[in-house]
Amino acid sequence: MPDEKTAILYRMILPDHTCPFGVRAREMLEDAGYTVDDRILSSREEVEAFKSEHGVATTPLVLIDDEAVGGSEELAAFLKS
């Protein structure tokens, strides 16, 4: 279906910490009708390598149509527009 809305979500779930912003981003995407490709960063090393590779200071990172939207705050603004 060409109308299907999909998003890639990179978020942190460590053994001792689940990022609440990543949880919020997933909920916002699902509420907006997106199919979410949920990509979990499960170690500090993975998180740091991801941030370095993508030039971001924090997670989560949402991509829609191969464009980086940003984290949960940016996603909220994007979904309102």
| Domain contains 75 | yes
pTM of the predicted model, to two decimals?
0.92
- pLDDT, one tens digit per residue, over 36-81 is 999 999 999 999 999 999 999 999 999 999 899 999 999 999 999 8
Position 1 in a domain: no
* Integer Cα distance of 31 and 74 in angstroms: 16
Answer whether residue 27 is part of any domain.
yes
Instruction: Tell me which residue range forms the domain holding 76.
Output: 6-80
User: What total of structural domains would you count in the chain?
Assistant: 1
Here the CATH number for the domain that contains residue 48 is 3.40.30.10
Q: What is the rounded average pLDDT of the residues 8-36?
A: 97
Quickly state the pLDDT bin for 3 (edges 50, 70, 90). Answer: confident
